[in-house]
Amino acid sequence: MLTEVEIRENLKEVEEKICAAVKKAGRNRSDVKLISVSKTNPVEVLEAAYRCGVRVFGENRVQELVEKMDYFESKGIKDIEWHLIGHLQTNKVKYIAGRVAMIHSVDTEKLAKVISDESAKKGVVTDILIELNIGDEDSKFGLESDDLANFVKNIAILPNIRVKGLMCVAPITDDPEKNRKFFNKMYKLSVDIRDKNIDNVNMCELSMGMTGDYTVAIEEGATFVRVGTGIFGKRNYGVQQ
Ligand SMILES: *Cc1c(COP(=O)(O)O)cnc(C)c1O
């Protein structure tokens, strides 16, 4: 578990790298949102990050996310944007509908429908991203890119979701350049869909890039980068899983 001083240092370094990457790509800093991935860290660590100015957190498990949202709410803190970035089971959607800024991991029509239905019950429209298995990995969640166009058409009619873009978890690698082709493919797929002008679909967001490869992702068009280890240090799964 890192101290507030270490988190502040890490955030500064991440910020510098983001700025360098957007500059290199001829983009603006405001084109890219940093999601601080706080999974497995206790709320005290999130509070320290909050004091360092973090207002956008990403979590990958519903129960943990809800506990953390409840904690901050109980303290009267309301200016946090929560992103669900991990695999989501349909029976858990009801716990987060209306409480999260975005769900990044929609990869079945059934899940999209449940998110729309649960959002309707709460009187909200939920922003979602479609998760692609861009590296074609057996172990990964996400749609195959060949199925994307049909998938988008089928879920675009759901009244209480808004399709905002695409998300991927690229293969784990120690050489981020190896993932450049995947990020570039994500960008091209999003442009292809955008050109189809489907009602209710706004392919403006690309959630891609993690601690190991976010600068390359930004160069290839990421609008959200999801950084965990680079801010909070190595995760200790032994404690919470
Ligand atoms: C854990 C996680 C991240 C952050 O990974 P780091 O390598 O620690 O930056 C990003 N995206 C998803 C979906 C994750 O589950």
Is residue 176 in contact with ligand 1, taking CB distance under 6 Å?
Answer: no
Q: What is the Cα gyration radius of the chain?
A: 17
111-167 confidence digits (pLDDT tens): 999 999 999 999 999 999 999 999 988 888 999 999 999 999 999 999 999 999 999
233 lies in a domain?
no
Domain range for residue 35? 4-227
pLDDT band at 209; cut points 50, 70, 90? very high
53 lies in a domain?
yes
29 lies in a domain?
yes
CA 219 – CA 239 distance, rounded (Å): 35
113 lies in a domain?
yes
pLDDT band at 241; cut points 50, 70, 90? very low
From 2, 82, 226, the mutation candidate for ligand 1 (largest count of ligand atoms within 8 A of CB) is 226
Number of H helices, E strands in the chain: 10, 8
Q: Which helix (H) or strand (E) segment is 62 a member of?
A: helix 62-74
pLDDT, residue 237, reads 74
Distance, CA 186 to ligand 1 centroid (Å)? 18
In ligand 1, which atom is closest to the CA atom of 226? 10
Query: Residue 101 carries which DSSP code?
Result: S
51 lies in a domain?
yes
85-112 confidence digits (pLDDT tens): 999 999 999 999 999 999 999 999 999 9
Whole-number Cα distances in Å, 19 to 16, 169, 173: 5, 22, 23
Sign of CA dihedral 230, 234, 239, 241: positive
238 lies in a domain?
no
pLDDT band at 18; cut points 50, 70, 90? very high
For residue 13, the domain's CATH number is 3.20.20.10
* Residue 8 burial (C-beta neighbours within 10 Å; 0-12, 13-18, 19+): middle
Number of domains the chain contains: 1
Is residue 40 in contact with ligand 1, taking CB distance under 6 Å?
Answer: no
Provide the 10 A C-beta neighbour count for residue 50: 19
What does pTM read for this prediction?
0.96
pLDDT, residue 240, reads 46
